[in-house]
Structure 1
Amino acid sequence: MGPLSALDLVEGPVPTVAVLLAIPAGVFLLARRWRRGALVPLLAALLAGGTAWAVGQWTVASGLSTHPLPLPVLAWIAAAACALILAGAGLRGGRWPRRVLAPVAATLVLAAASLQVNAYYGFYRTLGDVTGASTADIAPLTNASHEGESASSPPLALARWAPPPDMPEHGRVKSAHIRGMVSGFTARRAYIYLPPAHSVPRHPVLPVLVLISGQPGSPSDWLTAGRLQPVLDAFAAAHRGLAPITVVVDANGTATANTMCMDSRIARADTYLATDVPAWIAANLDATTDHERWAIGGFSFGGTCAIQMATLHPGTYSNALDFSGEAEPALGPSRAATIQESFAGDTAAFDARTPLHQLKKRHYHHSWAYFAAGAEDSEFTACMHRVATAATGAGMTVQAESIPAVGHSWRVASAALGPALDWLSRRLALAP
């Protein structure tokens, strides 16, 4: 697609221009002289509102979302539905110019609504993300990531690292399949970021960051919506080419599944993340074996999963990055239904695997946790403060930040990852 592939759909002029075009299009659809006066536009608005409400209910009932859709999203869904209804109603009895222009006007409103909903979530950042071009050419990890390292040149200790003049400016992203050898879990393709320092013939032993995407979603969301490589490249540029070896893993198996990162009747996702993934990293990547320099993080579902894994397995993941996570894992708004489906109604078994339960029960004086949520996301901001307070009470070293002018959006993750790593840099031995 060439230059169009990089067209910014979130922060560039495209969403604004689409709204500027949609406003006169909407006025055109409303301005017709209806035979029954304002009755048709009124009925269209009511029907559109009902459609938006039904869509919101369906996303929760179907498992696509565990929480109701935010009001700005519902408003844009209603606007698009209203435009389509008015355009359909205008096809009957109107003059031919209006019959031709009405579908065009409705398409402009629909396009603006789609772009605004996407901009709210920060999901498809570019046109290449929509088409899949952004991640289509990522090559598999070969020779167990010992690329650039000679057999006679073992990795350096971080304390002895000095960047050579020919070190590349950018890290590399590779892909791999991490099999569930113990868990039996079938995961989608994982992605591995290797920082610039890893590309030199004798690279340093680096810390580990495991990342998990939201639900619904896929590991590639961290590369596109989360802007993983630009963020980590910027961090590496400020830290002598150093950054964590970052492994973006799949915790759900499909785009719409929800394992809650637990071992339950649904899947053995906990065993996959706590046993299979660390074993694969140890066998395939030249990473540190000091788990105080391992971190796990994620956005939304992934943020919940991150603090959950850090509280259940602090010996594996000593540090957590929880971006817009929930107070506890869930399959939907009904806690009883969640427990019934995952643990056949065994509340004690479910509770024992939740972060808040663990934070009441255990002490975590050797663990660190960084929390972030959008300032306009009141529900998940409340979750952030609740879990952060519990983590502080359990002895964790905690930092909690609010990202201004953002709701429950991937922009939280892309904005918070750099500051979170800065805060963790000494802990990960990436800064003096």
Structure 2
Amino acid sequence: MTTDPRRGSVAELSLINGWLPVVLLVLGGIALFVLFARGGRASMITIAVAAVLAVLTYFLLNWLVLTVFDLLPEPLPGTVRLWIAVGVGVFALGVGSMFASSVGRKVTAVVCTVVALATAASQINVYFEEYPTLGTLVSSDENDVSAFAAASGVRSASEATPVVTRWKGNPGRSRVESAPIPGTVSGFNARPAWIYLPPAYTSPNPPLLPVLILVSGQPGGPQDWIVSGRLQQLLDGFAATHNGLAPVTVVVDPNGADDANTMCMDSDIAKADTYLTRDVVDWITANVGVDTNKAHWAFGGWSFGGTCAVQMATRHPDLFPSFIDLAGEREPAISSDRTQTVQQAFHGDTAAFDALTPLTLLSQKTYPDSWGFFAAGSDEPTTQQWMTEVSTAAKNAGMTVTTQIVPGQGHSWGVPTATLVPALDFLSPRMGFTT
């Protein structure tokens, strides 16, 4: 997959900015008004039931998600809960309008319910920025991506000098390709990785480039960095200011499924740490044709992936001396109940779990050769607290650290899309893009 040829078409209509979300919001308001505009006792009962269900949803949703069903390790943001509550209320209004009404009223109620639910979904998407354009909503391009072919005639090797001093050629065009990375050592069954190949990589005489390994959030998968994270667009922008140079970026899967959570650890769940540090590293070295000098490598991620990045940096500083933590957690977690996390992953052995967490390692060891970039949204106070705690511990352990707060963003893809390039700018002297 090269740069999207549909750019400028209907597919490029923004779902998070501009006129389309505003129009949907207006249409949703009109639809909601029409659903309310019905006289009679049945209508009053429907409105009362819908209002009660919406209020209960808003106040009880996190309790249900975190405690009753144990679906997520952290609460849903208030804005998201509000729009889910609106959706529940709208659905109740729509169902209520099916009773004791004419055929015309029923048809109108169905149309208005669909429009209002689409508005609620649109506003949730505006918050998370999961689907930035109409094209990403209707087609992920997953079936169009090319399979990665091992680099022919280009062998990986360790380079002592920065790539910027070794590259004088003419850039080609970037590509995004996909390849399975087998769990040869770990036995882990991962979904295919997505690989960004920079313009310099596709040139006639490519240099051996540094490597960035990325992990998406959870729930989610590697493709999220391509679609929601707009990875190719961001890295093409970085490459444009560096004569085609950017890291070969491999978005990998340490979970195996959207709803799975290995915490990027070797545990009773899976050998995810071994997969990332042995299988992934060995596969990149054997197949891609890159600079294998780990001083030029970095590991990064968003949300769950950010937590994973700090884990890799603290457990394997020899492999990943540079890392990017974008809105990561304080520590890995499966459940909001820490006891449940430890029970599922380590048979209840809290000491075994603690020994592998970043805060424990940062309190026990020093990392004078490690650099880390941290970021969080201004509207996610809990994540900011975690960022402050972990980044402070990293500084105290000898790391070179910088932090960034993204204005107007909650726990959304707006954080990584705003900070990935600044993170690479910060790490450029390490990775060899500047001297």
TM-score by length of 2: 0.92
Which residue pairs with 1:302 in the alignment?
305
Give the 3 Å change call, closer, same or farther, for CA 27–356 of structure 1 in structure 2. same
1:231-270 mapped onto 2 (5 Å cutoff): 231-270=234-273
Which residue pairs with 2:125 in the alignment?
118
Q: Which segment drifts farther, 17-26 or 84-93?
A: 84-93
Q: Distance in 2 between matches of 1:346 and 1:312?
A: 19
Q: Over the residues paired in the alignment, what is the CA RMSD in angstroms?
A: 2.2
Give the 3 Å change call, closer, same or farther, for CA 394–18 of structure 1 in structure 2. same
> Which of 343, 357, 366 is the aligned partner of 1:354?
357
Deviation at 1:127, TM superposition (A): 3.2
List runs of 5+ in structure 2 lacking aligned partners. none
Q: Distance in 2 between matches of 1:35 and 1:194?
A: 64
Q: Which segment drifts farther, 19-28 or 55-64?
A: 55-64
1:161 and 2:146 are equivalent in the alignment: no
SS in structure 2 of the partner of residue 197 of structure 1:
coil
Which residue pairs with 1:420 in the alignment?
423
Which residue pairs with 1:84 in the alignment?
91
CA contact (8 A) 2:167 2:207 kept: no
1:3-82 mapped onto 2 (5 Å cutoff): 3-35=9-41, 38-52=44-58, 55-60=61-66, 62=69, 64-82=71-89
Which residue pairs with 1:98 in the alignment?
105
> Which of 179, 199, 215 is the aligned partner of 1:176?
179
Give the 3 Å change call, closer, same or farther, for CA 218–69 of structure 1 in structure 2. same
Give % identity: 44
List runs of 5+ in structure 1 lacking aligned partners. none
Give the 3 Å change call, closer, same or farther, for CA 357–34 of structure 1 in structure 2. farther
Which residue pairs with 2:217 in the alignment?
214
Deviation at 1:54, TM superposition (A): 5.5
Deviation at 1:63, TM superposition (A): 5.4
Q: Which segment drifts farther, 337-346 or 126-135?
A: 126-135
Which residue pairs with 1:406 in the alignment?
409
SS in structure 1 of the partner of residue 235 of structure 2:
helix
SS in structure 1 of the partner of residue 342 of structure 2:
helix
CA contact (8 A) 2:375 2:387 kept: yes
Q: Which segment drifts farther, 91-100 or 380-389?
A: 91-100
Q: Distance in 1 between matches of 2:83 and 2:390?
A: 32
Q: Distance in 1 between matches of 2:226 and 2:273?
A: 23
CA deviations on 1:395-423 (whole Å, 9 max, x unpaired) are 11001100110100011111110110011
One-letter identity of the residue aligned with 1:17: V
CA deviations on 1:135-181 (whole Å, 9 max, x unpaired) are 32111111x134xx679xx999625434434x22x311111111111
> Which of 309, 322, 333 is the aligned partner of 1:330?
333
Give the 3 Å change call, closer, same or farther, for CA 113–326 of structure 1 in structure 2. same
Give the 3 Å change call, closer, same or farther, for CA 145–56 of structure 1 in structure 2. farther
CA deviations on 1:216-252 (whole Å, 9 max, x unpaired) are 0010000000110000000000011111111100010
Which residue pairs with 1:289 in the alignment?
292
How many residues matched?
A: 425
CA deviations on 1:255-288 (whole Å, 9 max, x unpaired) are 1000000000000001111111111111112222
CA contact (8 A) 1:298 1:305 kept: yes
Give the 3 Å change call, closer, same or farther, for CA 174–53 of structure 1 in structure 2. same
Give the 3 Å change call, closer, same or farther, for CA 140–37 of structure 1 in structure 2. closer
